[in-house]
Amino acid sequence: MINHRLLAITACLLFSTSALAQDLTGTLKKIKDTNTISLGHRESSIPFSYYNDQQQVIGYSQELMMKVVAAVKKDLKLPKLQVTMTPVTSQNRISLVQNGTVDIACGSATNNLERQKQVAFSDTIFVIGTRLLTKKDSGIKDFADLAGKNVVTTAGTTSERLLRKLNEDKKMGMNIISAKDHGEAFLTLETGRAVAFMMDDALLAGQRANAKHPKDWIIVGKPMSNEAYGCMMRKDDPEFKALVDKTFAKVMKSGEAAKIYKKWFMSPVPPKGMNLDFPMSDDMKAAFKNPNDQAFP
Amino acid sequence: MNYHWDWAIFLAETPSGSTTYLGWLMSGLEVTLALSLSAWVIALIVGLFMGVFRTVPNRWLSGMATVYVEVFRNTPLLVQLFIWYFVLPELVPASIGDAYKAINPFLQQFLAAMLCLALFTGARVCEQVRSGINSLSVGQKNAGLALGFTLPQTYRYVILPIAIRIILPPLTSEFLNIFKNSAVASTIGLLELAAQGRQLVDYTAQPYESFIAVTVLFMLINTVVMILMHRVEARVRVPGHSGGGQ
């Protein structure tokens, strides 16, 4: 009898562990096997993903990404899961996700159709409009006022593409400067090399909060486009994507995401304790109500 | 790894419609060539003079050349570029800085990158020139002076013609380096070859094709440079001298 019971238990255990191992594929299997998850973050995408004074990564997207880490720990039963952080840029993030350097990258990446050919996007975590940051007394009110002027944007962004297209289509004669990252783009604006900085409005609010004199700068112009941000993961990995989307849907519907939003966009944030004062848009409210991974047209 | 290869992407039209993605790479190639060649000419001139100054018996001249070499050879190229582009215009009087910042941004980036590459490479050329001169026996210089040449004439007619022949091979590698180093200009937004490659990645989300194309183009440039320099070396060879062969 005892022998039989032991056998049964052993068989049960063997069966269940092998079943678990078989169930896991792709990223989740990699995480389980290595007991490590690799996160991709940004360095100056305020307030989405950036360094604080202690060189720790903080921000709205970072906080959501940590929710994913918590869910992975729970689902895979890996309480001691190691987390490695890799800084990514607009230019290398797709390659780093594809080649496995990072498993998931939550920053300020726009979900669009070209990118969907190479990587998968999570449910939308943020919706932005592309607008202009300029000096209060510059006289710039909208995109039409930029004709013949120097305008800066960040290389590798959808804003860069829209701005170049606008310049060609309307023959505006703008000189477009493509800066390496948002911090450098703002430096270009601040030192007077450009009269305006075109970028996602939420990031512009972040750069303004970080300026020497935040009150000197305003965000103007009718949004040239609206875009959905999502976290990037490897393509054709439905299991990991399902876990990420499930996690986001939960925090969005429970109201937790709204609290995280309030913390980063309606309250003082590091490094200078400035309030971005950036109320939630209707598009974002809709995204929170109906979590989805659709790119904006 | 599930990558979606698409080599035909280079022939696709860019979103602005006026050219293909290959056209972007070609315009990047033009900027890289213009930037590197103009910087190389300045580097040769600066390097030649500074290298000579380092060997002359004048404390002020050799001191100045030493300071130049130490400063430009011992700091990272990227830092130098940021100083030229971002810091210098803020340090000079506001009127000059503002005037500089008002010119076409492409020109600003090009000038900063050209100056930076030229002075960085010039310091390296300078050291090659100095070592070339020092490798000659002191008898050469004394013979020149004994024949009644002035010191500048001795350099011009006796020392430099041989010293430069000796340093041609290391100069070739500096020449190759300047093309490769020119890619740092992409960090200040100059749309040279590396930057166009990066832009291709952003627009097409086909990173591997883009980076492979950029690599091939850089290799092509440097193969041409190597062939040219070998020809120059063969042309100027003086039989019977070191490095001169038959």
A155 with B195: Cβ contact below 8 A: yes
> Chain A contacts of B191, Cβ < 8 Å?
178
User: H or E stretch including A135?
Assistant: strand A126-135
Name residues whose C-beta falls within 8 Å of residue B226's C-beta, 6 or more positions apart in sequence.
B172, B176
Model confidence band, residue B246 (pLDDT cutoffs 50, 70, 90): very low
Specify whether A176 is located in the same domain as A37: no
Please say which residue of A180, A209, A226 terminates a domain: A226
For the stretch A37-89, pLDDT in tens is: 999 999 988 899 999 989 999 999 999 999 999 999 999 999 999 999 999 98
Specify whether A110 is located in the same domain as A253: yes
Model confidence band, residue B163 (pLDDT cutoffs 50, 70, 90): very high
pLDDT of B173 above 70: yes
Flag whether A19 is in a domain. Answer: no
For the stretch B27-64, pLDDT in tens is: 999 999 999 999 999 999 999 999 999 999 999 999 99
Is A87 exposed, middle or buried (CB count within 10 Å of its CB: 0-12, 13-18, 19+)? middle
* Average pLDDT of span A184-211: 92
pLDDT of A121 above 50: yes
Closest to A224 measured CA to CA, from A279, A148, A183, A172 = A172
> What Å distances lie between residue A153 and A135, A171, A184, A211, A232, CA to CA?
15, 18, 9, 17, 22
Q: A91 φ, ψ to 5°?
A: -85, -30
Model confidence band, residue A274 (pLDDT cutoffs 50, 70, 90): confident
Specify whether A158 is located in the same domain as A217: yes
Name residues whose C-beta falls within 8 Å of residue A241's C-beta, 6 or more positions apart in sequence.
A120, A122, A233
Residue of A118, A119, A166, A170 best to disrupt the B interface, most CBs of B under 10 A: A118
Please say which residue of A187, A202, A226 terminates a domain: A226
Specify whether A250 is located in the same domain as A104: yes
Note the pLDDT of residue B244: 45
- Between CA B197 and CA B201 the distance in angstroms is 6
Note the pLDDT of residue B2: 66
Flag whether A101 is in a domain. Answer: yes
Please say which residue of A210, A226, A242 terminates a domain: A226
- The helix, strand and coil proportions of chain B, stated in percent and rounded to the nearest 5, come to 80, 0, 20
- Between CA B156 and CA B17 the distance in angstroms is 55
Note the pLDDT of residue B120: 97
Model confidence band, residue A127 (pLDDT cutoffs 50, 70, 90): very high
Q: B108 φ, ψ to 5°?
A: -55, -45
B105 with A194: Cβ contact below 8 A: yes
Smallest CA–CA distance from B104 into chain A, residue = A175
- Between CA A140 and CA A205 the distance in angstroms is 17
Quote the tokens at residue B120: 């960085």
Flag whether B35 is in a domain. Answer: yes
- Between CA B171 and CA B175 the distance in angstroms is 6
* Average pLDDT of span A178-183: 87
Contact in structure between A71 and A247 (CB atoms under 8 Å): yes
pLDDT of A221 above 50: yes
* Three-class DSSP category at A103: coil
H-helix segments, B56-104:
59-73, 77-82, 88-91, 94-102
> Chain B contacts of A115, Cβ < 8 Å?
205
Specify whether A197 is located in the same domain as A262: no
A164 with B203: Cβ contact below 8 A: no
The reported pTM is 0.74
pLDDT of A18 above 50: no
- Between CA A221 and CA A142 the distance in angstroms is 4
Total tally of structural domains belonging to chain B? 1
- Between CA B18 and CA B9 the distance in angstroms is 15
Specify whether A98 is located in the same domain as A160: no
Total tally of structural domains belonging to chain A? 2
Specify whether A37 is located in the same domain as A117: yes
Percent of chain B at pLDDT > 70 equals 96
Closest partner residue to B189 (CB to CB) among A94, A178, A191 is: A178
Specify whether A55 is located in the same domain as A111: yes
* CATH number for B142: 1.10.3720.10
Flag whether B2 is in a domain. Answer: no
Give the CA count within 13 Å in the CB-facing half-sphere of B149. 16
Note the pLDDT of residue B157: 95
Q: Which domain holds residue B146?
A: 17-236
Flag whether A11 is in a domain. Answer: no
Specify whether A196 is located in the same domain as A64: no
B205 with A94: Cβ contact below 8 A: yes
Smallest CA–CA distance from B109 into chain A, residue = A177
pLDDT of A11 above 60: no
Quote the tokens at residue A51: 């360094």
- Between CA A141 and CA B202 the distance in angstroms is 29
Flag whether A91 is in a domain. Answer: yes
Residue B4 to chain A, least CA–CA distance (Å): 7
Q: Counting runs of H as helices and runs of E as strands, what totals does chain A give?
A: 11, 16
Flag whether B242 is in a domain. Answer: no
> Chain A contacts of B199, Cβ < 8 Å?
155-156, 178
Contact in structure between B92 and B199 (CB atoms under 8 Å): no
* Average pLDDT of span B213-235: 95
What is the 3 state secondary structure string of B22-67? Answer: HHHHHHHHHHHHHHHHHHHHHHHHHHHHHHHHHHCCCHHHHHHHHH
Flag whether B4 is in a domain. Answer: no
Flag whether A151 is in a domain. Answer: yes
Specify the pairing of strand A232-234 against strand A119-121: antiparallel
Closest partner residue to B104 (CB to CB) among A118, A175, A235 is: A175
Flag whether A296 is in a domain. Answer: no
Quick one: CA dihedral A93, A97, A98, A99, positive or negative? positive
Flag whether A18 is in a domain. Answer: no
H-helix segments, B151-206:
151-154, 160-166, 168-181, 193-204
Flag whether B246 is in a domain. Answer: no
Q: Which domain holds residue A86?
A: 26-125+230-289
Flag whether B10 is in a domain. Answer: no
For the stretch B96-114, pLDDT in tens is: 998 888 888 899 999 999 9
Flag whether B6 is in a domain. Answer: no
Note the pLDDT of residue A10: 54
pLDDT of B119 above 70: yes
Contact in structure between A66 and A231 (CB atoms under 8 Å): no
Specify whether A183 is located in the same domain as A64: no
Flag whether B245 is in a domain. Answer: no
A178 and chain B in contact, CB less than 8 A: yes
Closest to A80 measured CA to CA, from A16, A39, A40, A34 = A34
> Chain B contacts of A168, Cβ < 8 Å?
16-18
A91 with B189: Cβ contact below 8 A: no
Note the pLDDT of residue B160: 95
Specify whether A214 is located in the same domain as A134: yes
Contact in structure between A48 and A108 (CB atoms under 8 Å): yes
> What Å distances lie between residue B137 and A11, B131, B133, B134, B140, CA to CA?
87, 12, 9, 7, 6
Please provide the average confidence, as pLDDT, over all residues in chain A: 90
Note the pLDDT of residue A297: 76
Specify whether A30 is located in the same domain as A121: yes
> Chain B contacts of A169, Cβ < 8 Å?
16
- Between CA A80 and CA A82 the distance in angstroms is 6
> What Å distances lie between residue A295 and A169, A242, A257, CA to CA?
24, 17, 20
- Between CA A47 and CA A182 the distance in angstroms is 12
- Size of chain B in residues: 246
Flag whether A172 is in a domain. Answer: yes
Closest to B178 measured CA to CA, from B131, B232, B221, B126 = B221
* CATH number for A167: 3.40.190.10
A161 with B202: Cβ contact below 8 A: yes
